[in-house]
Structure 1
Amino acid sequence: MGDHKDGMQKIITTLAVKNEEIQNFILLLKQRLQNIEVNSSQAQVELESEFSSLYNVLDELKDSMLTKIKQERASKTYELQTQLSACTKALESSEELLELANQTLCTAESDDFIQAARQIKDSVTMAPAFRLSLKAKVSDSMSHLMVDFSRERSQLKSLSFLPVPGTPVIDLSECLVADNCVTVVWSVPGEDAKIEHFDLEYRRTDQEGAPRGREEHPWMVVEGIRGSEYTLRGQRFDTRFMTFRVRACNKAVAGEFSEPVTLETSAFVFKLDSGSSHQNLRVEGLSVEWDSTGGKVLEMKKEMKTRPASPLNSPARSAMMMSPKRTPIARGSRDRFTAESYTVLADTALDCGQHYWEVRFDKESKAFAAGLALRSLGKFDQLGKTSASWCLHLNNWLQTSFTAKHNNKARSLEGPVPDRLGVHCSYEEGLLSFYNAHTKQLLHTFKTKFSQPVVPAFMVWNGSFSVQTGLQVPSAIKCLQKRNSGTSSSTASLT
């Protein structure tokens, strides 16, 4: 009986799942039916709008060409009428002279004949008829205003719906990942001239290959790309890979997305281990600020909530009892840095490869240091004063100094102190280099041999700093490292 019940329960579950799938599919079909009505109505409205626009263009063109014909007719008519009027007047004047000459000829025996003949001769010389051009100023031809729209009629007959743009293909061999930038290059087989732009989508992932059905990171969109490549600049590579896809768009419709491609975006990403940082360091994400109260204000507030109100426990009395030099009331961890080791370490160790990160710090800090340390760095140890740490150290207490420190030896560094350091570690080569992050100028290189994994390490006293991770080793630093591989300074020369 139990087996039958289990079997029946499985059947019921299967039917319920299938029913739910069918119901969801029915909802999908109904939604698509509604979408068809809406989309077809919209397409009809847009089609009528396009034809109306085309009619308007034709009407405007017709009016313009008719105006051209009318202007040409009016201009030629004016010229010929002016010429005709001048000829008519000249003809009338000539006929009068002709009649006068005939009359004078009839009176040839008269004494006044010679004088009359001279007057007629002078009048003929000055007559308008002899100054006229007997060539029409304009032609009566209007053939240059004839039209032939056979080609346009053929084009109009070939009007059709816009084709869906072809699907682009991303060219992996042309894509480039460098300097925290990604350049994606693609092409469209049989590219359609009506493509107006491309849309690029990308998202971060820790999975190589095609994107999974469910991704933690959403697609980010870059629209309106006119060319067939695009460069994403200034990225923070906090995942191992980035997935890209692209589609072509014309005026009305977008094509299908290309097959997604995944590019490796390797970079060193870490967080600050606030659990082991000095009590006087307030760690928030990748930012650190000196806090002279050492967290005692928060503990005071907690204590005040649990104590009854009394003059002995008043906030004013408690504040008077506080002193930044006193040992913190409680330590978050037995491994927390203490005393004058105002240190915080990263939570991720390096044991191979090349890595790069940057640190922006307040140059007015009383003291600041950044570098590498072994995990075995003691909680009382200060960066650069033991064999377990290497750092650049800024000191603004009593007198200003900027030095490279290791094993309690220091070398003074020349030049201005940058407000942003670039730190590069090549683990296998035993190189730890510091750069001006803005200019990529080399400040100092430690050459050693790491006997065990190391972690980024930082120190600040009466100041603040912030760290930027997820950065690739800049190309400029790679080139500079090759050129200076034989001239790097070493820890042995520190004094």
Structure 2
Amino acid sequence: MEEMREKGDAEEKTRDAPKGGTEVGVETERSSSLITQADHTLKEADHARFLQTRTDTDLSDSLCPRVSMATASSQILIPEINLNDTFDTFALDFTREKKMLESLDYLTAPAPPAIREELSTASYDTITVHWTSDDEFCVVSYELQYAIFTSQANVISLCNSADSWMIVPNIKQNHYTVHGLQCGTRYMFIVKAINQAGSRSSAPGRLKTNSQPFKLDPKSAHRKLKVSHDNLTVEREETSSKKAQSQDRFTSQGNYGVTGNVYIDSGRHYWEALIGGSSWFAVGVAYKSAPKHEWVGKNSASWVLSRCNSSWVARHNGKDVSVEPSAHPRRVGVLLDYDSGSLSFYDAVASQHLHTFHVDFVQPVCPVFNLWNRCLTVLSGLPIPDNLEASDCRE
């Protein structure tokens, strides 16, 4: 009896085996297919085909949006692959990759620097440009570009022409001194901040060099004139009679003059004469070849603005043009543009234009000062005033 029972159990197990084996085989085959397809999908090099891949469990519905977000990063991210016990679903977990992307610190181009015109300084042939940057610690270097600025009208042409600019690369500090510039000239500057991600440029800044400095030349002074130790002030040694001064102030014997110690043959220059109570004087320019002490405009080699008591005249080659200032100027400004052929005089305090000579200069000229009473002081090495830069005062 026992043997028959054991035989019956064996037959029953034999009958059940095909059914159970079939279910396991189907699950195994299905799992193998999912894993194989997932493996092929993850190895797919074509991004479009990778996103279009579908599985029997609608893999793309959950895979596409997550993979699209992941591939936006330049890094290679490998997601977690989770298979459940029944192998019915397939999922990609991007939690780890999301945290990695959120923690990335992307490098961007630095903010545009700002030129500090109020901190910048100049001499007659140099300009020291200062600037600031909000991203100073991420800037690798700066690049300085500059060009001559003639008028507002040429700004667009300057910006469109790379050949017009001089470039100073690889500056490590936030200031730079440019040498070898033209005196009395305006320049436009642009500063570019650079790092590995790119560069950004400042707004243009306009700065100008000063005029060429000079002093009085004691060797050129008339024997009745006294030049100070600093060679900046000239004083007339008073005679016993003002009548004598009145008689000889415009004669060849009475031209009490002194020149500056510089000869000018190009560029733009500005200087002033500070009038120390004098009522008889003349200021202007003369050719280097002009006869000594004949610098009062009575010949073709000199151009001056002269005051004689209450009378003001502009004089050249013996011809006088009456000038009527609004008041007696205490500082006379002289603007010489040698290349353009103009010599202008101004009341430096009231900013009043007094007279302009138009001259085709053919020789170097030097500043000249004539004095019949009291004293005057030379102020040189000045920047050209902004109001003179902006206006055209030619007659």
Question: Given the two structures, how large is their TM-score scaled by the length of structure 2?
Answer: 0.46
Q: Which of the pair is proportionally richer in strand?
A: 2
Q: Which of the pair is proportionally richer in helix?
A: 1
- Relative contact order: is structure 1 or structure 2 higher (C-alpha 8 Å, sep ≥ 6)? 2
Larger Rg: 1
Question: Given the two structures, how large is their TM-score scaled by the length of structure 1?
Answer: 0.38
